[in-house]
Chains A and B, each alone.
Chain A
């Protein structure tokens, strides 16, 4: 059983860095596996660095900005050619 998972790749940008990743995987998997980002968002209360944890839509630790839209659960979005991905913007900008 050595069939490769994918035969094609797509290119996405993470914080301006070009990544060539397998087509069909999630943005969270692509960033975690190919960009080694350290953190992808910061905890709004204590400021600690956070990164994708559950990869299945439950933990909300993988929030990132995708194509300009913040607060996206990156584990639920499939990579697309040319996608622009950034770390989740810091919460100071939130007006409550």
Chain B
């Protein structure tokens, strides 16, 4: 264990999809970038998701945030091609849109109302409600349950293998000169003469500029400036169905077939601290819903169930912000690290280097929670 601090230029804390996306975006700016990735035992939200690139049916009350997802989704195809080329790794991905199945007339019409509102707020919306027979044409290999009335359809959505994306980013980082260190950061200490010292499991590190992209751990890392970062652990619990032949060319929300053939069932958001217990009645209710949508699943083998903690800012919207009193520290926290990865890589580098936020993200600083910048 070293006791003298090593000097770094820019340190990014967090080796999940947010951290690697930001690091990759900074790689061609002529700066020395060091990424710190915590050990496996830490919360790894980037490994607790199905990889949806999801724009539709959300954030009618936060139109800029809704638009940000659409923007990032448009940037994704070119990014995933580039990452594949640079890393030499295949990234399973499909940009054929996304579906939200509806059970019953009431659910169908309330979903339709929401999409109408989004269309008004955003002025342009590349999606619509589709009937049951239209849904059957989009997913002809699936026999839907009798209660299925149709679906919300959006062509901007997609799905990417999230582990392949993370791995491709990590390999790509080695090719573009970003150094990754495996270590756990316990605490950040601002230094009197400027700069920051990070107390890590493998000794102290120092840097001039710091990017905190460590998901839930940002609460601990930022607490030298903000004692109570408004970001919560969002527990999800899912059921995993055995591998099936590929029958879902377009992903459905809540019951989604992965590229490996397994089907992940889950839609819960629970705010119960860091409890990761799987509650049988909770996952059972998800399974019951899935069988109403797709009855044949009820005859397939469940292979496991698990829970994980995702990242959720208090008002659901991403946080892109300097820390109060610390212009050298930028904090990034979002629930949608996969969907927004292309935005993070392509359009946030200037901000991380001290510039302005892109127009759409200007209201996403900590100011909205009453913190002075």
Contact = CB atoms under 8 A, between A and B. Distances in A.
Contacts of A91: 244-245
A48 to B, nearest CB: 11
A41 to B, nearest CB: 10
B50 to A, nearest CB: 16
A95 interface: yes
B125 to A, nearest CB: 31
A57 to B, nearest CB: 10
Interface string A57-96: 0001001000000010000000000000000000110111
Given A44-B244, A60-B242, 14 more contacts: A43-B243, A44-B245, A45-B245, A45-B259, A45-B260, A60-B243, A71-B242, A71-B301, A91-B244, A94-B245, A96-B141, A96-B142, A96-B244, A96-B247
B162 to A, nearest CB: 17
Q: At the interface, is chain B mostly helix, strand, loop or mixed?
A: loop
Given A60-B303, A71-B301, A95-B296, A44 B142 contact: no
Nearest to B240: A60
A92 B296 CA distance: 14
A55 B246 CA distance: 26
Interface of A: 43-45, 60, 63, 71, 91-92, 94-96
B188 to A, nearest CB: 38
Contact of B296 (A44, A60, A96): A96
A95 B245 contact: no
Interface of B: 141-143, 242-247, 259-261, 294, 296, 301, 303
Contact of A95 (B143, B243, B259, B301): B143
Nearest to B244: A44
Contacts of B301: 71
Nearest first, the 6 A-B pairs at minimum CB distance are A45-B261, A96-B296, A44-B243, A44-B245, A91-B245, A71-B301
Contacts of B303: 60
A45 B243 contact: yes
18 contacts: A43-B243, A43-B261, A44-B243, A45-B246, A45-B259, A45-B261, A60-B242, A60-B303, A71-B242, A91-B244, A91-B245, A92-B245, A95-B143, A96-B143, A96-B244, A96-B245, A96-B294, A96-B296
